[in-house]
Structure 1
Amino acid sequence: MSGIVESAGTGAAHQLPDGQGGMGLPEGHAGQNRTVRSALLDAALEVFTERGYTDAGLSEIAARSGIAVGSLFQHYGGKRGLYLALWEEFREEQERRTAATLASERSRGVDDPIALFVAGAGAYLEGAWDNRRLGRLLVEDDGPAGFDALRRQWDRAWVRRNARLLEVDERRRAGRVRVSVLTTVIGGAARELGDCRDETEAREIMDEVCGILIHLSAPPG
């Protein structure tokens, strides 16, 4: 779960069992669905964090949310759906955050690829700190079947986006490796932020990592 993303909206919207999304529903109904989904995700995060994905029980998630188990299945289809929805929520928030930062920097006239990349990295790390509980959960090995492959797929996509942001020619192996290393540095730092004692320590890590990225982003020669 690392990398800088240029634009949001890459994930599909959550679907109801009949294939209908929130669009087209009466406003009150759509709002109620959002409330139910939010309660279920909050409860799922609590239970997954305390017990791990494997040992988490749907009945406990439903009880903590105050939502019936049947409604849980209706909205998410079960435990795997809840976990993937949490991951998508984290991913989309990180995308929005980094995209907004890049847009702000460009509006100020910043056009240097490295400066933009480091600004986006800083925004991503800010999000990792702000959402550290969810971030810690999502880097654990205890997840649903197939999640690791899905995460690797998105990591590769993020590396490609970072390459475009840095204006690196992906056809050159050296360029691909450099961007992959940079993306890995950001991901590792995000994991470290999850274990920070307080914001002061987190800020120290963010500043240190941004300095490292400036150094490593410079093209060779």
Structure 2
Amino acid sequence: MTEATGSKRAQATRAALLSAAGEVFTAAGYERASMAMIAERAGASIGSLYHHFAAKSDLYITVYNEYNRRQQHRSAKAFRTALAAGEEDALRLYIAGARAYLEGCWQERKLARLFLSGNGPAGFGLLSRERFREWLTANATLVNGHTRPLSDMLVLSLTAMSTEAGREVADAPSKAEATRMIDEVLELMGRLYPSS
């Protein structure tokens, strides 16, 4: 076997383990989930699981970080698309990114519910607060190079609204209801800083 083949196999195994971990954590919760359950779901050996992840907490944090990476990618892509279409208003750009984030909460609702509940390993609450601060800084950086810059407190309020709305969207009973919630919260955001 070549090194490239081994690397591809290791990447595929890691991806399968992360996918299985997401399924097990969302079904059982962090406390009841076990490494054996995750290995079984992935069709991998427990040794392979421990080769890639040191502990259940490491695996959970990795799944969380991957989810956040996808959410940030969705938001940044929507922001760039709005910018490329000629939008220059900071609030409208923020709202474009927020819509993508909230739609991601619906698309990945099981993971969103899990992570937004705050359930996780020791120290997860601190980690999620750190990620919130990072998200806040990224949002401020993205939008404030454009017309009508947003104050730090407005960015904080909008980001908190997005996070809380994400929790509700993830719990929506249907896509139609999730879409209604998204539209309503974005309309409310627009009222916080009306067009001049």
Q: Same fold (TM over 0.5)?
A: yes
CA distance in 1, matches of 2:78, 2:3: 34
Tell whether 2:178 aligns with 1:196: no
Out of 87, 112, 128, the residue aligned to residue 64 of structure 2 is 87
Q: Is the 8 A contact 1:62 1:72 kept in 2?
A: yes
The residue number in structure 2 matching 1:211 is 187
User: What residue ranges of structure 1 are gaps of 5+ in the alignment?
Assistant: 1-24, 169-173
How many pairs were matched up? Answer: 191
Q: Helix, strand or coil: the match of 2:120?
A: coil
Letter of the 1:141 counterpart:
G
CA distance in 2, matches of 1:114, 1:143: 33
The residue number in structure 2 matching 1:107 is 84
Quote how far apart the aligned CAs of 1:186 are. Answer: 0.4
Q: Which has the higher helix share?
A: 2
Q: Helix, strand or coil: the match of 1:110?
A: coil
Letter of the 2:123 counterpart:
G
Letter of the 2:40 counterpart:
A
Sequence identity of aligned pairs in percent? 36
Q: Is the 8 A contact 2:140 2:155 kept in 1?
A: yes
Out of 149, 158, 162, the residue aligned to residue 182 of structure 1 is 158
Letter of the 2:117 counterpart:
E
CA distance in 2, matches of 1:161, 1:212: 22
**Which range moves more in the overlay, 194-203 or 155-164?**
155-164
Quote how far apart the aligned CAs of 1:175 are. Answer: 3.3
Letter of the 1:139 counterpart:
L
**Which range moves more in the overlay, 25-34 or 145-154?**
25-34
Quote how far apart the aligned CAs of 1:163 are. Answer: 2.5
Q: Is the 8 A contact 1:43 1:62 kept in 2?
A: yes
Tell whether 2:53 aligns with 1:76: yes
CA RMSD after TM alignment:
2.0
Letter of the 1:68 counterpart:
S
